[in-house]
Amino acid sequence: MKVLLIGSGGREHALAFALAKSPLLKKLYATPGNPGIGKLATLVSIKVTDHSTVIGFCKSHQIDFVVVGPEAPLVAGLVDDLTKAGIKAFGPSKFAAQLEGSKGFTKDLCEKYGIPTASYGRFTKEAKALAYVRAQGAPIVVKADGLAAGKGVTVAMTLAEAETAVNEIFAGRFGEGECVIEEFLEGEEASFFCLSDGVHVLPLATAQDHKRVGEGDTGPNTGGMGAYSPAPCMTAALCAVALEKIVKPTVVALAEMGHPYKGVLYAGLILTKQGPKLIEYNARFGDPETQVLMMRLESDLLPLLVASVDGTLDKAKVSWRDETALTVVMCAKGYPGDVTKGSHINGLEQNFGAEVEVFHAGTALDGEFIVANGGRVLNVTALGKSPRDAQIRAYAAVDGIDWPEGFCRRDIGWRAIK
Ligand code: AMP
Ligand code: GLY
């Protein structure tokens, strides 16, 4: 098959790493890709927001299958337009991608289908939102409705913080002012990844992320500073509960709405005393969770993604390595604030060993040099017999990379190791 992969992050490098191993793959293109992906795929420059250009490229290059990595093109309906043009594409439709694109949509769906989640209110008027916050009291969680790159959520421990968060949303900080206000849930967080073909669900694997920039889970939220898989807290029993009570009813709900969900369902869960509850859905693979998932994946990824589009996931099987995979995200100094681009990174060409992969996220080529080109820059990923083993291996590789302008958290995996 000829495949076009859309995206440029560590997630897409990890997907390219898995796709490149497929015996079914004849040719891999990626757009825009990055220098790491460029070693596995032919990089092409396509304006992804212009769907007719993407369709034109697929037709002229006889692309059999498109894999969409990030959420923005899904929410913009790229898969709908490719499908209409007769091109097979992996990922949910625009309607179904609302599971990620609109927190209000997901909360309403959960309520209607009895899916366990935090109780909530949904508001388009500031005064009503403030009245609700005051009536509920703190701690309470305030969320902007649309996509906000992980920055639209305030877990307010005091009423004053909650009020400020509401004020900011209605002042237009995240686009149109609509907000969801939620009950504060207590428990460990874990991510549960499944594939759906609109009818059948194939559970993939679990992972845990590290959202805060600083060691000990301190400082501002980020896109993710590191991850590991599996998540020890997600026992087989809890996975079964999450599958039956959360993911399967969601797939039923979307099918009943006439928009079957095809693609990855990435459920962000909090394991409360009453069992797993949904905090959010993502309509795509996680970043950096995909990096650890793809290290553990034994099966061929490509036919699994095709089965999600074809509706044949009931016949699919997936197997995973038993080891833990752990990834450390190396960032440019300043992240998640402003960063300087262009600093040189050396040492990437060395042999890190069979159980280590360095995935590129925000890198670029400057002549023959690899340079930093974003906030999250490299994902140093290792397999190990235990979380501790994988951690030691990943940091040994981190220490072999010469990049004075970079930094990382030194405690990725602490929860699993504890
Ligand atoms: P989200 O963008 O919805 O994933 O939220 C970002 C982070 O906020 C989550 O990873 C949680 O740590 C936290 N969070 C979100 N919703 C809740 C909730 N209802 N209770 C407690 N923490 C939450
Ligand atoms: N690492 C969090 C995400 O992909 O949304």
CB distance 279 to ligand 1 below 6 Å: yes
294 and 229 within one domain: yes
104/40 Cα distance (integer angstroms): 39
pLDDT in tens, 378-410: 999 999 999 999 999 999 999 999 999 999 999
Closest CA to 261 of 72, 51, 109: 109
251/202 Cα distance (integer angstroms): 11
pLDDT of residue 149: 55
For 29, the token pair is: 């293109």
306/299 Cα distance (integer angstroms): 13
For 142, list phi and psi in degrees, rounded to 5.
Answer: -115, 125
Q: Which domain holds residue 291?
A: 188-315
- 101 domain residue, yes or no: no
pLDDT in tens, 287-318: 999 999 999 999 999 999 999 999 999 999 99
The ligand that comes nearest to the alpha carbon of residue 174 is: 1
Helices (H), 98-207: 98-101, 103-113, 126-136, 159-170
CB distance 106 to ligand 2 below 6 Å: no
pLDDT in tens, 158-203: 999 999 999 999 988 777 768 889 999 999 999 999 999 999 999 9
259 and 192 within one domain: yes
For 46, the token pair is: 């396509």
Ligand 2 closest atom vs CA 288: 1
Neighbours of 392 (CB within 10 A): 14
Query: pTM for this structure?
Result: 0.95
- 99 domain residue, yes or no: no
Beta-strand relationship, 369-372 and 363-366? antiparallel
Q: What percent of the chain has pLDDT over 90?
A: 92
Domain CATH code at residue 41: 3.40.50.20
Residues across the chain: 418
pLDDT in tens, 74-120: 999 999 999 999 999 999 999 999 999 888 899 999 999 999 999 99
Give the count of domains, the chain. Answer: 4
CB distance 286 to ligand 2 below 6 Å: yes
Domain boundary among 287, 315, 343: 315
Tell whether the model's pLDDT for residue 362 goes beyond 60: yes
Tell whether the model's pLDDT for residue 3 goes beyond 70: yes
pLDDT of residue 390: 98
SS3 74: helix
Domain CATH code at residue 164: 3.30.1490.20
Task: Tell me the pLDDT band of 146, cut-offs 50, 70 and 90.
Answer: low
296 and 209 within one domain: yes
89 and 23 within one domain: yes
Q: Which residues pair with 281 in a beta bridge?
A: 267
291 and 209 within one domain: yes
pLDDT of residue 174: 74
pLDDT in tens, 234-289: 999 999 999 999 999 999 999 999 999 999 999 999 999 999 999 999 999 999 99
304/315 Cα distance (integer angstroms): 10
- The separation between CA 415 and the C-alpha centre of its own chain, rounded to angstroms, equals 20
* Residue 226 Cα to ligand 1 middle (Å): 17
293 and 194 within one domain: yes
* Residue 326 Cα to ligand 1 middle (Å): 22
Domain CATH code at residue 288: 3.30.470.20
Closest CA to 103 of 279, 276, 287, 284: 279
The ligand that comes nearest to the alpha carbon of residue 224 is: 2
* Residue 100 Cα to ligand 1 middle (Å): 13
For 253, the token pair is: 């709900």
* Residue 149 Cα to ligand 2 middle (Å): 9
Ligand 2 closest atom vs CA 282: 5
Ligand 2 closest atom vs CA 11: 4
* Residue 85 Cα to ligand 1 middle (Å): 38
Residue of 270, 272, 273, 277 to mutate, ligand 1, most atoms within 8 A of C-beta: 270
pLDDT of residue 328: 98
390/117 Cα distance (integer angstroms): 33
pLDDT of residue 172: 80
Tell whether the model's pLDDT for residue 138 goes beyond 80: yes
For 388, the token pair is: 């501790």
Domain CATH code at residue 394: 3.90.600.10
Cβ(100)–Cβ(84) below 8 Å = no
CB distance 71 to ligand 1 below 6 Å: no
The ligand that comes nearest to the alpha carbon of residue 7 is: 2
Q: Report, as an integer, the average pLDDT of 220-224.
A: 90
Q: Return the HEC string of 268-305.
A: EEEEECCEEEEEEEECCCCCCHHHHHHHHECCCHHHHH
Three-point CA angle 112, 313, 199, nearest 5° = 25
Which amino acid would we find at residue 237?
Answer: A
Q: Report, as an integer, the average pLDDT of 14-40.
A: 98
R_g of the chain computed on alpha carbons:
21
Residue of 11, 75, 209, 376 to mutate, ligand 2, most atoms within 8 A of C-beta: 209
pLDDT of residue 150: 56
CB distance 12 to ligand 2 below 6 Å: no
pLDDT of residue 148: 61
- 22 domain residue, yes or no: yes
